[in-house]
Homo-oligomer: A and B are copies of this chain.
């Protein structure tokens, strides 16, 4: 198990998706702007997340990415493992100095620790972070401040694709605010 910036980017991006999941897909351009990661790099990361079955891409205007499963069924460990492929853990691969039919004792102790860590991160889901009281409201508030509108005109229609009923007044208001910023 490794844990690099790559893993951090993926987890924060997935948290972003989880926060806005109820409001429809989130574009990589949005995440890129908000979290300061290059768009193409995000694309590379999401290619893996998609192959691992953690997210679904929705093409076309109003599209973006959504969680493929409920946030309560996606663990942090899964996200991290899907982006950085685990390399050779042992180095003395059965061969070499330390054999006893297997690995070094210290390597055994390490894999033991590694398993504990994995277990720990498997027990933490996206939902546990997002569904805390106040978070959804806070996120919506901030989105407005930074000019990020999940319910802009075109997207509203996309969302209407059989998911939610839209508050048309809210949509109009947000759209007006977005125009004002230009």
A: which residues have CB within 8 A of B? 1-5, 8, 11-13, 15-16, 19, 33-37, 76, 87, 89, 91-92, 96-98, 100, 104-107, 109-110, 112-113, 116-117, 120-121, 124, 129-130, 135, 138-139, 142, 145-146
User: A87's closest neighbor in chain B, by CB?
Assistant: B5
Beyond A87-B5, A120-B120, whether A97 also contacts B37 by CB under 8 A is no
Q: Which residues of B contact A16 (CB under 8 A)?
A: 106
A15 to B91, CA, bound (A): 16
A46 to B102, CA, bound (A): 27
Residues A36 and B96 in contact, CB atoms below 8 Å apart: yes
Q: Which residues of B contact A87 (CB under 8 A)?
A: 5
Q: Which residues of B contact A3 (CB under 8 A)?
A: 1-4, 117
Q: Which residues of B contact A92 (CB under 8 A)?
A: 34-36
A105 to B18, CA, bound (A): 12
Residue from the list B35, B113, B142 in contact with A76, Cβ < 8 A: B113
User: A33's closest neighbor in chain B, by CB?
Assistant: B97
A130 to B120, CA, bound (A): 21
